[in-house]
Amino acid sequence: MCGIAGSLVWDKSNNEEYRNLNKVTSFLNHRGPNFSKVKKMKNIVLAHSRLAIIDLNNSANQPMFDTSGKFCITYNGEIYNFLEIKKNLIRKGVYFKTNSDTEVILESYKMWNEKCLNFFEGMFAFAIWDIKKQKLFVARDRIGEKPLFYYPYDGKTLNSGIIFSSEIRSLLKHPNVKFKISNQGVWDFLSLNYILGNSSIVEGVRKLEPAHFMIIEKNYFSKKKYWHL
């Protein structure tokens, strides 16, 4: 179990967001005690708390950049068939610097874009930042074993940006995320012992549904389902 977090905001200094994400990440350390890092880039800050299981080397720490330095990933989970995918990518000429499944996800996205999700057998929640295109790709596994919660940066629309985390508790440490219990969320939970759809117990906080991915660019947002039972 690892913890991931991130904050994407357009046309604003990232110094403040770097401090905010440090607060968020400090409440994810119980998910990953082996290593924690917050990485600031243009328009985005990505964070990760690592529980080292596959490839214990420090080179597999996250947020992780690809060999070109143009893509960055923060990821929680495990891809069970990553060695098989890795062999396929090596045959296509891809060079790997680690033995981690993290890098396999990153290189798979570079090779196949969102279609890379069709190859992954496992449990995961991850975010990949394309530095050149200024595009954020966020995805969750087919059944939804790994959690991912998000909140519009301005509390209104994702066109302004996004804040995301593995846990609601850590997400609430960001000053932009307002704590207000959702009446509908309470109704759902007391009625069904579960909160339906992409809602949560906190008003405005959404969960990315299982088997869905999101693409966020400046003035553009889309969410799609990539797998059906």
Give the three-state DSSP class for 26. Answer: helix
Give the three-state DSSP class for 191. Answer: helix
2 is known as an active-site residue:
yes
Q: Among residues 1, 2, 69, 198, which one is catalytic?
A: 2
Integer Cα distance of 31 and 115 in angstroms: 29
Sign of CA dihedral 172, 178, 184, 186: positive
Write the single-letter amino acid at 165.
S
**Structure tokens belonging to residue 155:** 């509390």
Longest CA–CA span in the chain (Å) reads 53
Residue 16 near residue 23, CB atoms below 8 Å: no
Give the three-state DSSP class for 118. Answer: helix
**Structure tokens belonging to residue 184:** 């509908």
* Residues forming the active site: 2
